[in-house]
Amino acid sequence: MKHKLVNHIFIIAVFTGILVTSCEKAASEKDYGLSKIYMPQAIFKSGGTTNNYPVPSGSDSSTYNYLVDTKDKKLNIILGAALSGRNSSGFSVDITVNNDTVQQLLAANMLDTTLYKLMPATMYTLPATMEVEPGNLSGTFYLSVDITALKQSQYAGKLLVLAVQLANPSRYELNSAISTTLVIIDVNALVIGPAVNVTSRYILNPGSPFIASAMNGNRWGTLKDWKVNAAALSHGGVGSYSFDGDGACMDLESGWGSPLISNGKIYQTINLPAGTYAFDPSGGAWKWQGTKDPAYVVVAPGIDTLPDHNNIVNNPAVLYSRIAQPQPLVYFELNAAARVTLGIVVNYVQDQQGFKSTKVVLFNYPKHL
């Protein structure tokens, strides 16, 4: 998710009165000529022009700015304190939060309230103090976030914000302009992403355009590389494919002169490595969708076919989503490499209904909680 980072040197100056005045010494002299305590994460993204600390950051396990404690289900965000200058006598400092600053930013609409939310106190823990031993110039601590709480539905698509600040140093002074870090957690990027489209790697004939293996006239056909059962072959011995004004589509339709489809199935069985995935036969949006009776997108790990329509709901062996969803993603996780069958099952009892899709997609989530 893209989001605008706010210039918090200005913001914190407005709301907390910590702007460094022009009569003070130059920044280079303060940070390196004098010994002052600051948070390295406050200058992480822009070298000192912003106090934002986006999470996640980094491109691989050596540069992520967090650690995952799978045993205790904690996301440990890396923070710290450092000392400028050449002194190395050690120090301790208190660690606090400044909720007033975040609330003021939200109230002033300097953070979009539809996206940004104050991180609730029940979601995280922080140490009360940290100590840097003599001989060292810096130390680290964790903002520990509960992963289960982070995954709650109310936080999906949100940016959770917490202002973490240093206070009451035992020795030296704080560099007040950069002793507060605004931690901004992109929930979706951590929990379910970023997504990688792996469709072409694993799925045959995924669409754009779909290819037919057989046709009955110019419009109706059967999809190449996909399996269909007899019920889906409802257009004179073919089914699952159509070519008309909407182009080449995966298609199951009943009515308008065609038979009803009882327990019709379209599916493909593929081999996948361990990982987290999502399957979407709409390709992001249905070309047309007019189902009336319950129809399902189904993923069946370890099975070479799809269950019958009456054995999908509450079946622990499969995962499913109603086809009526605008984007019916079915998420699934494999702890080891496995064969997986994915596709669609319909049971059209009422007249004149169906769906059309121009492509299917399979996503992998290599970074996720």
Q: Give the tens place of pLDDT for each residue, 185-207.
A: 999 888 877 789 999 999 999 99
Q: What is the pLDDT of residue 348?
A: 97
pLDDT of 61 > 80? The answer is no
* pLDDT band, very low/low/confident/very high, at 50 (cuts 50, 70, 90): confident
Shared-domain flag, residues 185 and 312: no
Q: Exposed, middle or buried by CB within 10 Å (0-12, 13-18, 19+), for 136?
A: middle
What percent of the chain has a predicted confidence (pLDDT) above 90? 73
pLDDT of 25 > 50? The answer is no
CATH of the domain at 284: 2.60.120
- Specify the 3-state DSSP secondary structure of 199: helix
Shared-domain flag, residues 328 and 242: yes
The mean pLDDT of 143-154, rounded to a whole number, is: 94
Q: Which residue, 173, 191, 209, sits at the end of a domain? A: 191
The mean pLDDT of 200-222, rounded to a whole number, is: 97
* pLDDT band, very low/low/confident/very high, at 76 (cuts 50, 70, 90): very high
- Structural domain count, the chain: 2
pLDDT of 62 > 90? The answer is no
Extended beta strands in 201-274, E state: 212-216, 220-223, 227-228, 240-244, 247-254, 264-272
pLDDT mean across residues, the chain: 88
Shared-domain flag, residues 235 and 161: no
Residue 302, number of CB atoms within 10 A of its CB: 10
- Specify the 3-state DSSP secondary structure of 11: helix
Q: Which residues pair with 55 in a beta bridge?
A: 185
pLDDT of 11 > 50? The answer is no
346 closest CA partner among 234, 238, 246: 234
Name the pTM for this structure: 0.60
The mean pLDDT of 349-360, rounded to a whole number, is: 96
Q: Which residue, 135, 170, 191, sits at the end of a domain? A: 191
Give the highest mean pLDDT range of 16-20, 84-88, 105-109: 105-109
Q: What is the pLDDT of residue 325?
A: 66
CATH of the domain at 185: 2.60.40.1740
Is the N-terminal amide bond of 194 cis, ω within 30° of 0? yes
What percent of the chain has a predicted confidence (pLDDT) above 70? 88
pLDDT of 20 > 50? The answer is no
Q: What is the pLDDT of residue 34?
A: 78
Shared-domain flag, residues 85 and 223: no
Domain span at residue 264 reads 196-364
- Specify the 3-state DSSP secondary structure of 197: strand
Spell out the residues 6+ positions from residue 91 whose beta carbon is closer than 8 angstroms to its own.
37, 83, 131, 132, 169, 170, 171, 172
